[in-house]
């Protein structure tokens, strides 16, 4: 793939990303009213709350939604200066920024709204009883083995084809050209597996009222995120499989092959984005049917999670929810693995640069 | 053949009316039930067994198989006088006694239970150690804990009767009559004894 193709791809990718964000913005803007009148997120409030004290809270919530747009400034600069291949890094930074910002935003808005909560309703929301599912949750319980076999065999086939291409004409293909892109895709998949592990382990305490509905809503959300992970793995495997085809193509067909690849990728991305929106709506409806419950804080997380990071080896959670936001537990295995992964990614990128 | 997922209440009510024509000897709610009018292939059962809800595998004319798995739920109360590890251990013991957790059933890892409950890892590890000491679970390194086979307990009758005496004393001190206490004990025994041999 030539540099101009990559730049063109990144521009398309960024534009698509922007389009998909518009729907997300609308969805998040409506989220405070998802449960209907008398509710602000999961806080029971007076019916006219958003016309009274809630007006300012709601306005600030909407304003805070725009914070991640700060990262769009460098993106515009990159677009204007022509360094569009760097847009990928802006997108990669924007995705966690949007989600983290939303988490904090909801937490702040809810905390502010609790001051105006209806007393009798808010007592009903609290519970002193926690239900624990005794069904083990392991990554293998959420793994589709036929899919794993298909992905594994496709990757192995592509790697064998690349080895063959490199051995038969090393003068035409450099080691970096042949193996860097599939290597990057494989490393990307490793990261997705780590994310899957975190999603599976994500804590799921259950209330003792509406237990089945609550559990189904949580499980459906978990499966949705896992499916998103697998979708990304499928797309990256397609990239690995497409690479030897592209390398072995005659020079005349190269352009048309790239166009076919880009077209297929665009169709896949648009189809994926449409599906995501439909599924998100279903999940939101499912979640709205479940009565909100505040489960007891048995470990005093509110005290432990005073800072954005904490070190609690005896606490099994990756993220602790405190009174004023969230705290990343640096003593959790997932934190170690995530840090190692990011260092590895930086190393991989430096290696590619050095070999260039 | 189609599958139909339905609520626990619907299945229980269908069971009560015996709409599936399942022999009473097999019809055990909250456990796996195989309707033997025509058995499903093993792989289909395995697939159904992975689902944590109620699934009826239906044929337009007759039921091929019924699989019921209730979400095994352990309830922890913050206002309970017992420490949390004791509540966890007692809850699992009760489920084993009722026959809802049968031999070989895998238990969730310590980390999962501790995270779900939001407690220290040691709290759940202590509960599991107590269950292991009582011979109720087997901890297999690398593959987690499973419910052990029911063996006659090593405790002496005296040791077993002590907590019963303590509980009965509480009833007497609370002013319960002998008849009321006996009735309560019979009800509890009925609940706990479901899984008894």
> At which of A74, A101, A125 does a domain end?
A125
Residues A269 and A305 grouped into a single domain: no
Residues A184 and A247 grouped into a single domain: yes
Q: Which residue has the higher pLDDT, B142 or A145?
A: A145
Which pLDDT score, from 0 to 100, does residue B40 have?
40
Domain that holds residue A325: 297-356
Q: Which residue has the higher pLDDT, A57 or B46?
A: A57
Q: In this predicted model, what pLDDT tens digit does every residue of B89-118 receive, in sequence order?
A: 999 998 888 777 888 888 999 999 999 988
Q: How far is B79 from chain A (nearest CA, A)?
A: 7
**Mean predicted confidence (pLDDT) in A43-56:** 88
Q: In this predicted model, what pLDDT tens digit does every residue of A156-212 receive, in sequence order?
A: 999 999 999 888 876 777 888 888 889 999 999 999 999 999 999 998 888 877 777
Rg (CA), chain B: 20
Across chain B, mean pLDDT equals 70
> At which of A109, A125, A141 does a domain end?
A125
Which pLDDT score, from 0 to 100, does residue A334 have?
94
Does A205 contact B118 at a Cβ distance shorter than 8 Å? yes
> At which of A125, A153, A170 does a domain end?
A125
Residues A62 and A103 grouped into a single domain: yes
Instruction: Place B23 in a pLDDT band, splitting at 50, 70 and 90.
Output: very low
Which pLDDT score, from 0 to 100, does residue B31 have?
33
Nearest CA in chain B to A219: B52
Q: Is B140 left (phi over 0), alpha (psi -120 to 50) or beta?
A: beta
- In degrees, to the nearest 5, what angle opens at C-alpha A130 toward C-alphas A127 and A134? 160
- The H-assigned helical ranges of chain A are 3-30, 54-64, 72-81, 87-114, 119-125, 145-168, 175-201, 211-248, 251-289, 301-304, 333-355
Please check whether residue B187 lies inside any domain of the structure.
yes
Cβ-based contacts of A130 with chain B (< 8 Å): 75-76, 78, 116-117
Which pLDDT score, from 0 to 100, does residue A293 have?
80
Domain count, chain B: 3
* pLDDT higher than 50, residue A323: yes
Q: Is A36 left (phi over 0), alpha (psi -120 to 50) or beta?
A: left
Please check whether residue A356 lies inside any domain of the structure.
yes
Which pLDDT score, from 0 to 100, does residue A251 have?
77
> At which of B37, B67, B97 does a domain end?
B67
Residues A106 and A244 grouped into a single domain: no
Which pLDDT score, from 0 to 100, does residue B60 have?
33
Which pLDDT score, from 0 to 100, does residue A61 have?
95
Nearest Cα residue to A237 out of A176, A186, A162: A186
Q: Which residue has the higher pLDDT, A201 or A121?
A: A201
Does A128 contact B50 at a Cβ distance shorter than 8 Å? no
Which pLDDT score, from 0 to 100, does residue A266 have?
81
* pLDDT higher than 50, residue B79: yes
Distance from C-alpha of A75 to C-alpha of B136, rounded to nearest angstrom:
60
Whether the CB of A216 is below 8 Å from some CB of chain B: the reply is yes
Q: How far is A126 from chain B (nearest CA, A)?
A: 12
Residues A147 and A108 grouped into a single domain: no
* pLDDT higher than 50, residue A271: yes
Whether the CB of B7 is below 8 Å from some CB of chain A: the reply is yes
Q: In this predicted model, what pLDDT tens digit does every residue of B121-145 receive, in sequence order?
A: 999 999 999 999 988 999 887 778 9
Please check whether residue B106 lies inside any domain of the structure.
yes
Instruction: Place B72 in a pLDDT band, splitting at 50, 70 and 90.
Output: confident
* pLDDT higher than 70, residue B57: no
Contact B147, B105 (CB under 8 A): yes
Residues B112 and B92 grouped into a single domain: yes
Cβ-based contacts of B76 with chain A (< 8 Å): 129-132
Q: In this predicted model, what pLDDT tens digit does every residue of A208-223 receive, in sequence order?
A: 777 777 888 888 899 9
**Mean predicted confidence (pLDDT) in A21-37:** 89
Does A132 contact B92 at a Cβ distance shorter than 8 Å? no
Please check whether residue B111 lies inside any domain of the structure.
yes
Which pLDDT score, from 0 to 100, does residue B83 have?
92
Instruction: Place B154 in a pLDDT band, splitting at 50, 70 and 90.
Output: low
Residues A268 and A341 grouped into a single domain: no
Residue with tokens 């990128």: A349
Domain count, chain A: 3
Across chain A, mean pLDDT equals 87
Distance from C-alpha of A352 to C-alpha of B105, rounded to nearest angstrom:
49
Instruction: Place B195 in a pLDDT band, splitting at 50, 70 and 90.
Output: low
Looking at chain A, the whole-number percentage of residues with pLDDT higher than 90 is 33
CB pairs under 8 A between A and B: 97
Whether the CB of B97 is below 8 Å from some CB of chain A: the reply is no
ipTM of the predicted structure? Answer: 0.81
CATH of the domain at B127: 1.10.10.10
Domain that holds residue B10: 2-67
Neighbours of B149 (CB within 10 A): 11
* pLDDT higher than 70, residue A135: yes
Nearest Cα residue to A295 out of A127, A132, A131, A133: A127
């Amino acid at each position: 793939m030539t540099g101009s193709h990559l730049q063109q791809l990144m521009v398309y990718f960024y534009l698509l990303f922007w389009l998909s964000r518009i729907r997300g913005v609308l969805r998040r803007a409506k989220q405070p009213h998802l449960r209907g009148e008398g509710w602000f997120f999961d806080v029971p409030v007076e019916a006219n709350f958003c016309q009274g004290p809630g007006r300012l809270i709601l306005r600030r919530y909407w304003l805070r939604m725009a914070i991640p747009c700060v990262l769009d400034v460098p993106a515009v600069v990159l677009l204007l200066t022509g360094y569009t291949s760097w847009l990928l890094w802006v997108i990669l930074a924007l995705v966690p920024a949007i989600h983290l910002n939303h988490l904090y935003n909801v937490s702040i808005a809810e905390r502010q709204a609790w001051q105006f909560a209806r007393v009798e309703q808010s007592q009903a929301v609290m519970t002193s009883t926690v239900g624990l599912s005794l069904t083990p949750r392991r990554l293998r319980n959420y793994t589709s083995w036929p899919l794993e076999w298909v992905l594994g065999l496709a990757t192995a086939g592509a790697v064998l084809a690349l080895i063959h291409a490199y051995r038969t004409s090393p003068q035409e293909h450099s080691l970096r050209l042949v193996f860097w892109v599939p290597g990057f895709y494989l490393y990307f998949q490793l990261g997705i597996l780590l994310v899957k592990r975190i999603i599976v382990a994500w804590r799921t305490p259950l209330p003792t009222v509406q237990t089945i509905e609550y559990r189904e809503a949580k499980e459906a959300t978990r499966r949705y995120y896992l499916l998103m992970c697998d979708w990304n793995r499928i797309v990256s495997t397609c990239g690995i499989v497409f690479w030897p085809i592209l390398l072995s193509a005659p020079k005349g067909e190269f352009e048309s092959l790239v166009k076919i690849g880009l077209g297929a990728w665009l169709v896949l991305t648009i189809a994926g984005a449409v599906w995501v929106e439909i599924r998100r709506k279903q999940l939101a409806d499912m979640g709205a049917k479940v009565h909100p419950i505040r489960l007891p804080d048995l470990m005093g997380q509110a005290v432990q999670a005073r800072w954005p990071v904490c070190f609690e080896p005896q606490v099994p959670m990756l993220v602790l929810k405190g009174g004023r936001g969230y705290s990343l537990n640096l003593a959790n295995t997932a934190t170690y693995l995530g840090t190692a992964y990011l260092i590895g990614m930086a190393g991989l990128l430096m290696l590619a640069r050095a070999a260039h | 053949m189609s599958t139909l997922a339905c609520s626990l209440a619907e299945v229980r009510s269908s069971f009560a009316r015996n709409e599936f024509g399942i022999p009473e000897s097999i019809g055990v709610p909250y456990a796996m039930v195989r309707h033997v009018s025509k058995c499903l292939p093993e792989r289909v059962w395995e697939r159904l067994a992975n689902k944590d809800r109620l699934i009826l595998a239906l044929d337009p004319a007759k039921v091929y198989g019924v699989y019921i798995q209730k979400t095994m739920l352990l309830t922890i109360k913050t206002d309970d006088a017992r420490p949390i590890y004791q509540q966890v251990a007692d809850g699992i013991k009760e489920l084993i006694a009722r026959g809802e957790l049968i031999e070989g059933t895998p238990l969730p890892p310590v980390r999962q239970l501790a995270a779900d409950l939001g407690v220290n890892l040691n709290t759940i590890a202590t509960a599991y150690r107590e269950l292991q000491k009582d011979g109720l679970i087997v901890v297999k390194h690398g593959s987690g804990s499973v419910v052990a086979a029911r063996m006659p307990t090593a405790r002496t009758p005296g040791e077993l009767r002590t907590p019963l005496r303590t509980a009965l004393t509480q009833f007497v001190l609370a002013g319960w009559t002998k008849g009321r206490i006996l009735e309560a004990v019979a009800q509890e025994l009925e609940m706990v004894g479901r899984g008894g041999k």
